[in-house]
């Protein structure tokens, strides 16, 4: 089936200047695709509002929101203050997952924001983590609601089909088991996001609620492209996964429209962009495991040993905590005595935020050792840098199946 047809912006609201309200969620992996679309859209004849949840979980989120509104004064900022939320109900949970739940419990407050906006909101674009609450509100108000899906199309098909699978599986006994997505692929249970294996987990309840509601969206914007995921896109568009599924628009790979303040600062101070300038073409191994994936000290030192022994040049973005505000450890303490001195000149380590897209475009990049988060996969594919997938959790194993099947790179386990 061919990709769905698109409408001109004026057709969203009877020919009048449209007003699109973006309702993102938490975490840089969820925010960056929103920012890319907003920057691309601002040059068109359209009003834009962005719901900004306060306070943000991480410092990187706060910095990027500030940069967005400073650079684009036409974009309206709509502050959204969460209702009190007792996180002690869910001890030990990921702070970003807790933020999603806090957002869901405050989601009824989106109704007056949408209904009372001036000019009238023509369309809402929301994050998939909020769909079970935002879609019904938009429908009640007669506002089009599209979902920006920040993972791969294969993961979207898994989200759409999981409720169907569980309804069938309930008749056969407990457990999730492998999920055979019609027209796409069979996802082994070991590849699923681990919380899905426990139907009582907070993430699982959110996932299933959203999976049941997404059929009522007006369309999906997915950061992918037809050459990367032809099978999954066709299966959703043809109704093989779920009959009557909404239109799916492949809008990737999403790219920055201009340099971020972080990149400009890096270029000015000489790190790490200037360091890359001094390396031979295709010679650097880039190591990064995403913004939410902390690595244990022991594992960090094992990686360090391997990088040093390989003899290859490398750029390594380190994280020791899930939330950047909590990360106060010094590189020397993390990496061990003498490591920084031994790799001086051949290796560069940083704990600072980097513009990964800009780094991957650099001609010295030769390989990307990655957790296979979807933003990383699409950025590597768009930059022509082969990816060595080392999935850490969440949707990473599902993404890694796409990495392998579509020739973007290889999966360490395979």
Q: Which two tokens stand for residue 222?
A: 């997915």
SS3 107: helix
The pLDDT tens digits for 146-180 are 999 999 999 999 999 999 999 887 665 566 889 99
pLDDT band per the 50, 70, 90 thresholds, residue 264: very low
b/e sequence 292-326, b meaning 16+ C-beta within 10 Å: bbbbeeeebeebbeebbeeeebbbbbbbbebbbee
Enter the tokens of residue 43.
């040059």
- Catalytic sites, residue numbers: 30, 127
Please give the pLDDT value at position 134.
Answer: 97
The Cα 125–Cα 142 span in angstroms is 14
pLDDT above 70 (res 261) = no
Residues in the chain: 414
Higher pLDDT, 6 or 185: 185
Mean pLDDT for the stretch of residues 131-141: 97
pLDDT value at residue 139: 97
Task: Report the mean per-residue pLDDT for the chain.
Answer: 89
Over residues 212-233, mean pLDDT:
96
- Using the structure block, give the residue that is written with the tokens 């709509």: 78
Q: Is a pLDDT exceeding 60 seen at residue 266?
A: no
Q: 119 preceded by cis ω (within 30°)?
A: yes
165 contacts: CB under 8 Å, gap ≥ 6: 176, 179, 180
DSSP string, 223-279: S--TTTSHHHHHHHHTTSSSTTPPPEEE--S---SS--HHHHHHHHHTSSHHHHHTS
- Please provide residue 286's backbone torsions phi and psi, each rounded to the nearest 5 degrees: -95, 125
Q: Could you give the CA distance from residue 339 to residue 323 in angstroms, rounded to a whole number?
A: 25
Helix, strand, or coil (residue 221): strand
Torsion sign (Cα): 192, 194, 197, 202: negative
Q: How many CA atoms lie within 13 A of 356 on its CB side?
A: 29
Which of 246-250, 295-299, 356-360, 406-410 shows the highest mean pLDDT? 246-250
| Cβ contact 241:184 at 8 Å | yes
Question: Is residue 262's pLDDT more than 60?
Answer: no
Question: pTM of the entire structure?
Answer: 0.89
Cα separation, 402 vs 220, whole angstroms? 19
pLDDT digits (tens, 9 = 90+) for 314-373: 999 988 766 666 666 788 888 888 999 999 989 999 988 888 999 999 999 999 999 999
**pLDDT given at position 263:** 44
Domains of the chain from N-terminus onward: 19-250 (3.40.50.2000), 272-370 (3.40.50.2000)
| Beta-bridge partner residues of 387 | 368, 409
Q: For 90-103, write each residue's pLDDT tens digit.
A: 887 788 888 988 99
Q: How far is it, in rounded angstroms, from Cα 246 to Cα 263?
A: 37
Tokens 């309930």: give the residue.
Answer: 170
Count CB neighbours of 226 within 10 A. Answer: 13
C-beta of residue 30 within 8 angstroms of C-beta of residue 23: no
Residue 145 has pLDDT above 80, yes or no: yes
What pLDDT does 89 receive? Answer: 86
**Cα–Cα distance, 238 to 234 (Å, whole number):** 6
- The per-residue pLDDT for 297 is 85
Work out the angle at residue 335's Cα, subtended by the Cα atoms of residues 312 and 329, and round it to the nearest 5 degrees. 135
Residue 13 pLDDT exceeds 70: no
User: What residues pair up with 250 in beta bridges, in sequence order?
Assistant: 222
Cα distance between residue 304 and residue 294, in whole Å: 15
């Amino acid at each position: 089936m061919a990709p769905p047809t698109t409408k001109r912006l004026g057709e969203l609201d009877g020919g009048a200047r449209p007003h699109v309200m973006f309702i993102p969620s938490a975490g840089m992996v969820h925010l960056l695709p929103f920012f890319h679309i907003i920057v691309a859209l601002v040059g068109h004849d359209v009003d834009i509002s962005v719901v900004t949840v306060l306070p943000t979980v991480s410092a990187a989120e706060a910095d990027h929101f500030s940069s967005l509104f400073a650079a684009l004064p036409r974009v309206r900022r709509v502050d959204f203050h969460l209702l009190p939320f007792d996180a002690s109900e869910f001890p030990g949970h990921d702070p970003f997952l807790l933020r999603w739940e806090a957002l869901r419990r405050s989601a009824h407050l989106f109704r007056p924001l949408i209904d009372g906006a001036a000019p009238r909101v023509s369309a809402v674009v929301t994050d998939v983590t909020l769909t079970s609450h935002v879609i019904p509100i938009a429908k009640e108000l007669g506002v089009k609601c599209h979902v920006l899906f920040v993972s791969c199309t294969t993961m979207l098909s898994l989200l759409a089909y999981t409720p169907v699978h569980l309804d069938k599986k309930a008749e056969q006994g407990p457990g999730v088991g492998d999920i055979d997505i019609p027209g796409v692929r069979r996802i082994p249970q070991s590849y699923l996001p681990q919380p899905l294996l426990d139907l009582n987990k907070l993430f699982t309840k959110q996932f299933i609620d959203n999976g049941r509601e997404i059929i009522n969206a007006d369309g999906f914007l997915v950061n992918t492209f037809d050459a990367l995921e032809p099978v999954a896109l066709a299966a959703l568009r043809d109704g093989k996964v779920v009959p009557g599924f909404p239109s799916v628009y492949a809008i990737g790979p999403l790219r920055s429209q201009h340099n971020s303040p972080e990149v400009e600062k890096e270029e000015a101070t000489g790190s790490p962009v200037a360091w890359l300038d001094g390396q031979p073409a295709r010679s650097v191994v880039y190591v990064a495991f995403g913004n939410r994936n902390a690595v244990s000290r022991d594992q960090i030192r094992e990686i360090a040993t391997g990088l040093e022994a390989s003899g290859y040049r490398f750029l390594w973005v380190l994280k020791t905590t899930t939330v950047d505000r909590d990360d106060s450890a010094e590189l020397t303490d993390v990496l061990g005595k003498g490591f920084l001195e031994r790799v001086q000149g051949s290796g560069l380590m940083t704990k600072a935020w980097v513009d990964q897209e800009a780094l991957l475009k650099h001609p010295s990049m030769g390989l990307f050792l990655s957790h296979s988060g979807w933003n990383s996969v699409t950025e590597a594919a768009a930059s022509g840098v082969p990816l060595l997938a080392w999935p850490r959790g969440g949707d990473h194993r599902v993404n890694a199946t796409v990495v392998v099947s579509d020739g973007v790179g290889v999966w360490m386990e395979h």
